[in-house]
Amino acid sequence: MTSVCPFAKAARPDDSCLRKSSENNNKYRVENDGKDKKKPNESSSVSPKCPFGYDSRTFKLGPLSCLLCQALLFNTSKCVPCSHKFCNACISRSKDCPLCGADIEKIEPDKDLQDTVDHFIEGHARIKRSQVNTESKEVNSDNNKVTYEDVSLERGAFLVQQAMRAFRAQNVPSAKSRLILCSEDIREQLERMGNSSELCSQLGAVLGMLGDCCRAMCDAASAIGYFEESVEFLSKLPSDDLEVIHTLSVSLNKIGDLKYYDGDLQAARSYYSRSLDVRRNALKDQSNAPSLTLDVAVSLSKVADVDRSIGNENVAIEGFMEAIKCLESVTLSPSESGLEERRQSVLEFLQNQLSENQAISSV
């Protein structure tokens, strides 16, 4: 699963808003210099804050979080006799309570707490800013007037963040559940607003993550279905966005991998070739993108590997050699150590493939 949230751009605070907020704060300090107390009936602003600790700018652990996967509780289960609560998938791996060390005699579902978590998601995490009244709501009391601001999160970002936490902790059912909710939200947006680049990009990325979840759960058929749908939405987008190109080609490669492991080599080669075409076409317009050149080399090696498996040895060697030339043409700066490490890893694999061929030929 990708470590990049597809909603990261949407969730980034607007610089102009921050400047305006800073200017207002400075003005407030000047106007109130020397004043120790607020006058009666004076307005004050309450910053957005979720009562459970999940505010609109940060993602924190709260009372509805599992301390093991650090995501929202899913299939909440209670340890007996200590009564500490975790996700079922998380606590099922333990014989002792991770919090108190007590022996776990049995694990019981906690439906009431899980209902609370589900209500929280429906009432808070799934709120869309476009549906929230942007005008502040005012609550009057006897002595003052308090202005409450919007406490909702950017659409989808919260659910994806929770899913990524759960997936990293190998709580795949939890991750899948959150991603399904997120995909449903985006589909609703698509129905109301029509296809847009932003929504198609987000849905394509989320569907790819769902494919990763199904693959981790050994459900190859569902994984292929999600990856195929991801490809469908990402293919609607302009080909000049490197992030979209990467996600699209990776989804195609993952379908190819599943076909390869299932023994359908011709289908695997077809998907690998489609991924290669996507990356090659993008490289024509983005020739100065080293990461894209590395992606092309990876696709060439995948196609060549299948060619070797189906007996097209000469074609495979040509593919491996072309991939090596791609990698040798890449020039990286010292600051791009991550790409250099990846380049060396792929290059080593390709050279080993050619060495194996030479060893077989000499026998």
CATH number (domain holding residue 362)? 1.25.40.10
The pLDDT score that the predictor gives to residue 149 is 37
Q: Is residue 216 part of a domain?
A: no
pLDDT digits 0-9 by tens, 139-191: 444 454 433 333 344 657 888 888 999 999 999 999 999 999 989 988 988 88
The pLDDT score that the predictor gives to residue 32 is 44
Dist CA 137 CA 176 (whole Å): 35
Q: How many residues does the chain have?
A: 363
In terms of Cβ atoms closer than 10 Å to its own Cβ (0-12, 13-18, 19+), residue 2 is middle
Cβ atoms 254, 262 nearer than 8 A:
no
Cβ atoms 116, 110 nearer than 8 A:
no
Residue 238 sits in the same domain as residue 343: yes
In this prediction, residues 254-281 reach a mean pLDDT of 96
In terms of Cβ atoms closer than 10 Å to its own Cβ (0-12, 13-18, 19+), residue 90 is buried
Other beta carbons within 10 angstroms of residue 220's beta carbon come to 17
Residue 257 sits in the same domain as residue 189: no
In this prediction, residues 251-261 reach a mean pLDDT of 96
In this prediction, residues 42-55 reach a mean pLDDT of 45
Among residues 172, 194, 216, the one where a domain terminates is 194
131 has a pLDDT exceeding 70: no
The tokens 């593919």 sit on which residue? 319
Residue 128 sits in the same domain as residue 267: no
Q: Which of 122-126, 151-155, 257-261, 284-288 has the lowest mean pLDDT?
A: 151-155
The pLDDT score that the predictor gives to residue 58 is 54
**pLDDT confidence band for 13 (50 / 70 / 90):** very low
295 has a pLDDT exceeding 70: yes
Q: Which of 1-10, 306-315, 322-331, 347-356 has the lowest mean pLDDT?
A: 1-10
Instruction: End-to-end CA distance of the chain: give it in Å, rounded.
Output: 42
Q: Is residue 32 part of a domain?
A: no
**pLDDT confidence band for 331 (50 / 70 / 90):** confident
Residue 186 sits in the same domain as residue 284: no
Among residues 170, 194, 218, the one where a domain terminates is 194
19 has a pLDDT exceeding 50: no
Q: Which of 167-181, 249-263, 278-292 has the lowest mean pLDDT?
A: 278-292
- Residue 147's H or E segment, with its range, is strand 145-148
Beta strands at 137-140 and 145-148: parallel, antiparallel or unpaired: antiparallel
135 has a pLDDT exceeding 50: no
The pLDDT score that the predictor gives to residue 62 is 77
CATH number (domain holding residue 190)? 3.30.40.10
More confident site: 122 or 190: 190
Look up the domain containing 276 and give its range.
Answer: 229-363
More confident site: 157 or 205: 205
Residue 182 sits in the same domain as residue 251: no
Among residues 148, 175, 194, the one where a domain terminates is 194
57 has a pLDDT exceeding 70: no
Residue 251 sits in the same domain as residue 189: no
Tell me the sheet residues that pair with 108.
Answer: 78
| % pLDDT > 90, the chain | 50
- Residue 256's H or E segment, with its range, is helix 242-261
Residue 109 sits in the same domain as residue 173: yes
Classify residue 36 by its DSSP letter.
-
Q: Is residue 262 part of a domain?
A: yes
More confident site: 176 or 16: 176
Residue 181 sits in the same domain as residue 70: yes
Domain count, the chain: 2
Residue 233 sits in the same domain as residue 190: no
Residue 249 sits in the same domain as residue 302: yes
**pLDDT confidence band for 197 (50 / 70 / 90):** confident
Classify residue 46 by its DSSP letter.
E
286 has a pLDDT exceeding 90: no
Residue 187 sits in the same domain as residue 233: no
42 has a pLDDT exceeding 50: no
In this prediction, residues 114-124 reach a mean pLDDT of 84
The pLDDT score that the predictor gives to residue 125 is 52
Other beta carbons within 10 angstroms of residue 37's beta carbon come to 6
Residue 161 sits in the same domain as residue 243: no
* Tokens (6 digits) for 78: 């209670």
